[in-house]
Amino acid sequence: MTYRLNEFEFTLPSDEVQDASINILKFAALGTSLIVSRSLLGDGETLQSNFEEQLAKLEKQVQDLRYQPAKALHVGAAQDIDAIEVHNQFSKGTERIHQYQLALVIPGTRQMLALSYVKAQPLGDAESAHWATIKSTLQLNPKP
C-alpha cells in the first residue's frame, strides 16, 4: 500500500493498517485552525451514532458545552458528499473555544473524516465564509 502525505509518499509493507492520523492547518490571518482527523467506524456504527457519541464524550471533557442541533448536509464541489455538521462552543480551562465540526464517511468504506474549524474567539462572518469555502471545495481523492 502506498501512503501519501503532502510532502512525500512511501510504501507500507502491508495493507493491514488503520489511518488514525491528524493534520492541523493554521490560518494566521483569521486566528483559526483546521483540524482533520481520521478514524474507522466500528461494527454496527453509523456516521450519526459516532457523531453523537463523540459529542457526548466532548461534553464530559469540557465545561459549558453549547451547540446547535447537528444537521445533515451535502458538501463538496458537486454537493455529493453526505456529511453531518454542528457549530459548538465550550470552555477548556480558561479558554473559550468556538468551532464548526463536520464529519463524513468516505463512500464504500468505514473510513471517517472529521474536520474541526476552531478559534479561541467567536466565529464571525469572515470565518464563516472561510469555512463555507472549505466545505464547498472538498474533493475526495480516488483510491490509488
Q: Is the pLDDT of residue 28 over 60?
A: yes
Read off the pLDDT band of 103 (50, 70, 90).
Answer: very high
Tell me if residue 51 falls in helix, strand or coil: helix
Q: Using an 8 Å Cβ cutoff, are 20 and 39 in contact?
A: yes
Q: Which domains does the chain have, with CATH numbers?
A: 20-137 (3.40.1000.10)
pLDDT at 144: 54
143 by DSSP, 3-state: which?
Answer: coil
